[in-house]
Amino acid sequence: MFERKVNKTKAWKKLESHCKHFRKVQMKDLFDIDENRADKFRVNLDAVYLDYSKNRINERTMRLLMSLARDCGLEEKIKAMFRGDKINVTEKRPVLHIALRNRANTPIYVDGKNVMPQINEVLAKMKKFSDAVRFGEFKGQTGKKLTNIVNIGIGGSDLGPVMACEALRKYWAKDINCYFISNIDGTACAEVLNKVDPETTLFIVASKTFTTIETLTNARTCRKWLVDALGEHAVAKHFVALSTNREEVEKFGINPENMFEFWNFVGGRYSMWSAIGLIIAIAVGFENFERLLDGAHAMDQHFLNTDLEHNIPVILAMLGIWYNNFYGIHRYAVVPYDQYLQYVPAYLQQLDMESNGKFVSVDADYVKYATGPVLFGGAGTNVQHSFFQLIHQGTEIVPTDFIVPAISHNEIGEHHEILLANVLAQGEALMRGKTIKEAAEELKKAGKSKEEISYLKKFKSFEGNRPSNTIVFKKIDPYTLGMLIAMYEHKVFVQGVVWNIDSFDQYGVELGKQMALSILPELQGNAYGVGHDSSTNSLISLIKRLRK
């Protein structure tokens, strides 16, 4: 660990003064003076293209951003992650989601031990099991094929599997249905159990620690439901566990033979490539799961081996730093124009905000600059009819990533062309805007009176100069999804390096887990509130009264 204050580096100072000058620059003027701008600010890896020309940047901006990245030791930090160094410094752990998809199978050592054999062993076990379920060889207690697969997990043990299963819905086996129970709200359990039949249901209990109250409570409820219907023996045929904690899995009553292991060097939000991806492998088949890993591996290799200037995750990350730390824009939207990618924003929200929502640096100092932004999003075109008003005309600027497949899995009539026209129009409109004069002319053409024009013209104008990235690929398939998700993982990593924070701990999430446990007995009437503030105490009493 070396001490460093990123905001005291030369590159940071230069970026500050560059930004002062650049604030007045309009992107549309940059496009007008340079017909090659789109080519200059575009990069691709295979069939994934990033157009970042609609940003408030020129070549000097990118040069300075890359020298900031170098000043922060980024190149060495990337190597350290891939080497298996303990870069999760607060938890003293390596960060090796890249090993889970290390398709080259090169050795990666943790404390002198190559981790690849154990990873390969679990992958082989996942292949065997997912094939057996898909082909009806692993049957339920009464001999029926298991066609309803229910993943019980929360946070990192839920969001990746949900997002990837939905993204790859077109690849699901015809007779398999996937369900997800995450929330402790009984509704989550009830709604799924109402739909499935115990004889044909496989429950996957996904929990890294196997101590998370939501997951264990949901798993116990599902276990009881199954045992009530089919008897205790049925558990061995209908329950499997994904965890790092063998002891707790056994205590829960799942045979360790039915456990798929992963390890502490895999963070929850980075775990969909591990055993946590079992439901993905069952839904889409192990070969497709491997394609997902292959895509991620291709992005890993690009990230590790490409110079910063052409490195997709690095470019995305440094653009984020530019807005966050120099323009003071602490928001960011991700909008996939693909219905199957509808859960990508929720997935990225955890990835980004849980990794980089930190105010203490790795040197245990309070940071003196902004770190992770607020991330939100949703599928286009739907969100054009909701929060896009603010993105176009709000007082807040929201840099936006558009994610665009050129081909839809459902090419019906002109649907996809209309969708594509929309996303391209959004990016252009955000960049170009509409002057008051242009708005007035439009109103005039529409036959409005002078008074109406003079009143309405400001409402109808758009200041423009609002940045966006456009990420285009051919079609969402397992390989491309792997590339996209790995791209964002590495983007988040780069930003964590620049901000000098530990992107791989999550003490904020752990706080919630502890606090609920202390209030629970009070709500259940077995204890009385001590040490709470008066608001919490009175809310506890109010809720107890209402529940009587």
Q: Which residues are catalytic?
A: 354, 385, 513
Q: Which helix (H) or strand (E) holds 180?
A: strand 177-181
Residue 353 beta carbon to ligand G6Q: minimum distance, rounded to whole angstroms: 11
Helix axes 213-230, 186-195, angle to 10 degrees: 30
Q: Nearer Cβ to ligand G6Q, position 268 or 405?
A: 268
Residue 469 backbone dihedrals phi, psi, to 5 degrees: -110, 145
Residue 277 is a binding residue for ligand G6Q (CB under 6 A): no
Residue 268 is a binding residue for ligand G6Q (CB under 6 A): yes
Letters for 317-346 (x = contact with ligand G6Q by CB under 6 A, - = none) are ------------------------------
Which region, judged by CB under 6 A, interacts with ligand G6Q, from 149-157, 173-181, 403-411, 465-473? 149-157
Residue 295 is a binding residue for ligand G6Q (CB under 6 A): no
Residue 212 is a binding residue for ligand G6Q (CB under 6 A): yes
Among 88, 207, 311, 468, binds ligand G6Q (CB under 6 A): 207
Among 154, 299, 333, 497, binds ligand G6Q (CB under 6 A): 154
Which pairing describes strands 177-181 and 201-206: parallel, antiparallel, or unpaired? unpaired
3 state SS for 142-158: CCCECCEEEEECCHHHC
Among 324, 468, 495, 506, binds ligand G6Q (CB under 6 A): 506
Residue 244 beta carbon to ligand G6Q: minimum distance, rounded to whole angstroms: 8
Q: Look at the chain and count its residues.
A: 548
Residue 426 is a binding residue for ligand G6Q (CB under 6 A): no
Q: Cβ–Cβ contacts within 10 Å for residue 170, how many?
A: 13
Q: Which amino acid is at 120?
A: N
Among 51, 261, 300, 354, binds ligand G6Q (CB under 6 A): 354
Which region, judged by CB under 6 A, interacts with ligand G6Q, from 139-147, 194-202, 266-274, 327-335? 266-274
- The 8-class DSSP code of residue 202 comes to E
Which region, judged by CB under 6 A, interacts with ligand G6Q, from 90-98, 202-210, 254-262, 312-320? 202-210
Residue 356 is a binding residue for ligand G6Q (CB under 6 A): no
* Cα-Cα end-to-end distance for the chain: 55
Which region, judged by CB under 6 A, interacts with ligand G6Q, from 72-80, 104-112, 180-188, 264-272? 264-272
Which region, judged by CB under 6 A, interacts with ligand G6Q, from 11-19, 151-159, 371-379, 453-461? 151-159
Q: Nearer Cβ to ligand G6Q, position 265 or 340?
A: 265
Residue 207 beta carbon to ligand G6Q: minimum distance, rounded to whole angstroms: 3
- The 8-class DSSP code of residue 531 comes to S
Residues 113-132 close enough to bind ligand G6Q by CB under 6 A: none
DSSP 311-375: -HHHHHHHHHHIIIIII---EEEEEESSGGGTTHHHHHHHHHHHHH--SB-TTS-B-SS--SPEE
Residue 161 is a binding residue for ligand G6Q (CB under 6 A): no
Residue 97 is a binding residue for ligand G6Q (CB under 6 A): no
Among 56, 97, 134, 208, binds ligand G6Q (CB under 6 A): 208
- Up-side HSE of residue 485: CA atoms within 13 Å toward CB? 34
Instruction: Render the burial of 147-161: b for 16+ CB within 10 Å, e for the rest.
Output: bbbbbbbbbbbbbbb
Residue 490 is a binding residue for ligand G6Q (CB under 6 A): no
Residue 196 beta carbon to ligand G6Q: minimum distance, rounded to whole angstroms: 22
Q: What share of the chain is helix, strand, coil (3-state, %, to 5)?
A: 55, 10, 35
Which residue number is nearest to ligand G6Q in terms of Cβ?
A: 155
Those residues whose C-beta lies under 8 Å from the C-beta of residue 65, and which sit 6 or more positions away, are: 11, 15, 318, 319, 321, 322
Q: Nearer Cβ to ligand G6Q, position 325 or 506?
A: 506
Residue 209 is a binding residue for ligand G6Q (CB under 6 A): yes
Peptide bond preceding 215: is omega within 30 degrees of 0, i.e. cis? no
Q: Nearer Cβ to ligand G6Q, position 197 or 510?
A: 510
Residue 268 beta carbon to ligand G6Q: minimum distance, rounded to whole angstroms: 3
Among 269, 392, 490, 491, binds ligand G6Q (CB under 6 A): 269
Instruction: Render the burial of 54-86: b for 16+ CB within 10 Å, e for the rest.
Output: bbbbbeebbebbbbbbebbebbebbebbbebee
Residue 393 is a binding residue for ligand G6Q (CB under 6 A): no
Among 84, 94, 140, 156, binds ligand G6Q (CB under 6 A): 156
| CB 277 within 8 Å of CB 160 | yes
Q: Nearer Cβ to ligand G6Q, position 230 or 281?
A: 281
**Which residues, in sequence order, are bridge partners of residue 152?**
181, 205
Residue 157 beta carbon to ligand G6Q: minimum distance, rounded to whole angstroms: 4
Residue 151 is a binding residue for ligand G6Q (CB under 6 A): no
Q: Cβ–Cβ contacts within 10 Å for residue 526, how many?
A: 8
Residue 387 beta carbon to ligand G6Q: minimum distance, rounded to whole angstroms: 25
**With contacts defined by CB under 6 A, how many residues of the chain interact with ligand G6Q?**
15
Residue 182 is a binding residue for ligand G6Q (CB under 6 A): no
Q: How far apart are CA 514 and CA 157, in angstroms?
A: 19
271: left (phi over 0), alpha (psi -120 to 50) or beta: alpha
Which region, judged by CB under 6 A, interacts with ligand G6Q, from 9-17, 150-158, 170-178, 357-365? 150-158
Give the C-alpha distances (Å, rounded to integers) separating 325 from 41, 73, 330, 368, 469.
Answer: 21, 18, 8, 11, 18
- Judged by the rule CB under 6 A, the positions of this chain that interact with ligand G6Q are 154-157, 207-209, 212, 215, 267-269, 354, 506, 509
